[in-house]
Structure 1
């Protein structure tokens, strides 16, 4: 043993029994059910007793039962969504409370309406307000108290990788945790050579349930990037996307695109008319792009440049003389991307995935950027993890960083990561940030 005190288990955050109860997601869900679901139902029953002279202090009508069951499902979905999103890099859980609850309760009312089930609107409304208030307060306090804190073993690549702001990194001077505040885990370069006393220290951490993270995994968990220069030959298997979700996602893409096109048709017609009146040339811009499994396809976009400028090079930051007046507006609002919904219907693209590059750029990047073609293991997307995290990239260095985000997306290919991309995309579209 390395001489670590027997109280080492108390060096881990939330190691005390009362702390485990306070941090328990199950307890949070149960307590929330009492406040958000049961309390509005009892209030509605009491209100009915006063107004109608009902002698039963409980639910006496189907609309109250429908509201009770519906709000229970909606609250559970909301909490589940926020908890899953909060595990992803760069998220502050309390910022996703309102979107998650709004979507869940709107979905509840839509489902009840489609099924033709009556429900107590006062009961659902009260439940909604309590859910927003309770969850916002809980997750705000939880986020403020749970700033990540890791102890770093000073060997190998760990010190150079553990520098991300927003996380408290504590460099260890010896193989012990004496004098340190309680931590969320220990980070070490597990592929490097470690002295025997440090190996014993890491074993003791594991025994006392203090998480031990490999340095590249910790970096990936915090930054949302898979470093290209730390990829190992046997790691490509872990970058294979889940095939079951791939099938589900294709059906989701098709359904959403088919529903969105009729709704967005007036906007697309007005955009096409504005482009036609603003400058001569075709309304739709077509370009061959590298797609799924490295197969070329033709991408559709609203033309935002003067006709004949499509081979003029990279889009310039700021004022680009090649962009038309209408083009500048539709780029800022991302309206130029709307025709790609037809690419989604055809199966060339997904709503979410790595952005497709032109054939010339793809060939150029393949020569200078390691593993570039591996990003084509999934369908390209209208928006994606790299787009919301980094934005536009043309130079090789920027493309390498973007590819690291793409690899993270492929490795963690899931509904929850897609949902996070959707939320951040909506935020970017509203703010207009990152447009060119």
Structure 2
């Protein structure tokens, strides 16, 4: 359940003395933290220059440190651009924001044959990673935001969004009723109910708040920020507008999929051969399993997997249970570490699937869910994937209720899909491969 906390009088008094929007102050603190971090590079550069004069390092060491200021600043820009993602993803976000710019700098050094110091590059990367992680923890992840509300039933509506079977716990947040414009200025945002019938007085009041630089969020948007899920009972026509904004992103993602599969092929082919041999040695029958799944825009395709169960072509479509007796010994291992999905790289290459996206479901189950779960077909607006937001957040869905929760994660991805979110899912997928999280 949601944990509602109120501000202390001392904290509120401190906010009043500082003045201005709390959200603006938080952004200013993060910018100040980034500027303060430049002092670390200045100190390192001075130390490197002294070491160069002493003959300990070459001039390339100092030059590389100065070059590293660029990815350092880009890292903070990337982190700022990804703050729409739930704060509970902080460690992964900080790592991605720090790593990607330095990979880009390394690629630039190699592409233009620029001499650089590996030691200086590693030192700069570690400084950036530590500083950006500390800043994110201090000003974003560990900060408990305070939201105001004007309608008394707003919190109950938020509760209905947060409480879903099998969902990860929401981030921490505090709520207080808004008493005046002066109070509203000291909140991180004002949570409003879009479904409330508008009246002139309420409209004028909200416009007054907006003109005073008070950030305003719908209940649904606050729920998304806290959980990384979409409230299914509150989807409206604006959802399709959000999807349309990602039109060009699909072409770039397709190019990334093809390049990634070709790069993974030298590792996937011998590993897949070893899995196929292990399956054939344990049980009779073919090593490959083919099944009709539903993909982009509801079109069906044949998905490939390594067989992890006994051969039974007459078995109906159904959820896999915990400790399912149909799963073989080899099958239990390859399902735990997702090795049974190696053949799906071929589906990705053919364009049936993507590396990242909602997992494709069996055609009979899609027909059933489309009849019983509103907006279920919306998950087919994007290409299905090997791994998705629902898989790394929730794990396996083994019931109708958990499938509803899974859909709320899938639609969050459809609404907010971006390269930043794809990279976050990729990092969390590596954790899944290492731990076997969510397998059955």
- TM-score past 0.5 threshold: yes
1:308 aligns with 2:312: yes
1:117 Cα deviation after fit: 2.9
In the alignment, structure 2 segments of 5+ residues that lack a partner are: 1-15, 163-169
Checking the alignment, whether the CA contact within 8 Å between 1:286 and 1:298 is kept in structure 2 is: yes
1:13 aligns with 2:10: no
State the partner residue of 1:421: 425
1:135 alignment counterpart: 132
Deviation, 1:328, is 0.2
Change (3 A) 1:381 1:20: closer
| Aligned 1:186-197 pairs, distance under 5 A | 186-193=190-197
Written as runs of structure 1 = structure 2, the 5 A alignment for 1:28-427 is: 28-36=33-41, 38-51=42-55, 61=59, 64-66=62-64, 68-69=66-67, 71-106=68-103, 108-113=105-110, 115-143=112-140, 146-155=143-152, 157-161=154-158, 164=162, 165-172=170-177, 175-176=179-180, 182-193=186-197, 198-240=202-244, 242-308=246-312, 311-427=315-431
Q: CA deviation at 1:178?
A: 7.1
Query: RCO higher in 1 or 2 (8 Å CA, sep ≥ 6)?
Result: 2
Q: 1:241 to 1:397 in 2, by over 3 A?
A: farther
TM-score by length of 1: 0.85
Deviation at 1:78, TM superposition (A): 3.0
CA distance 1:230–1:140, change in 2 (3 Å): closer
The Cα shift of 1:42 comes to: 2.8
State the alpha-carbon separation in 2 of the partners of residues 9 and 419 from structure 1: 37
1:217-263 C-alpha deviation (Å, 9 max, x unpaired):
22223222222322224543333351111100000011001111112
What do you get for the CA RMSD once the two structures are aligned? Answer: 3.0
Higher deviation after alignment, 351-360 or 189-198: 189-198
Please list the CA deviations of residues 376-410 of structure 1 after superposition, one character each: whole Å capped at 9, or x if unmatched.
12111111112222222253332222222222111
**CA–CA distance in structure 2, aligned partners of residues 162 and 393 of structure 1:** 22
Deviation (angstroms), 1:157 = 4.8
Task: Mark the CA change 1:125 to 1:230 in structure 2 (over 3 Å): closer, same or farther.
Answer: closer
1:295 positional shift: 1.3
The offset of 1:279, in angstroms, is 1.1
**Structure 1 alignment gaps of length 5 or more:** 1-6, 55-59
Q: Is the 8 A contact 1:67 1:124 kept in 2?
A: yes
Q: Secondary structure at the match of 2:327?
A: coil
Deviates most, 76-85 or 133-142 = 76-85
- Shift in Å at residue 415 of structure 1? 0.8
| Per-residue deviation, 1:296 | 1.1
User: How many correspondences in the alignment?
Assistant: 417
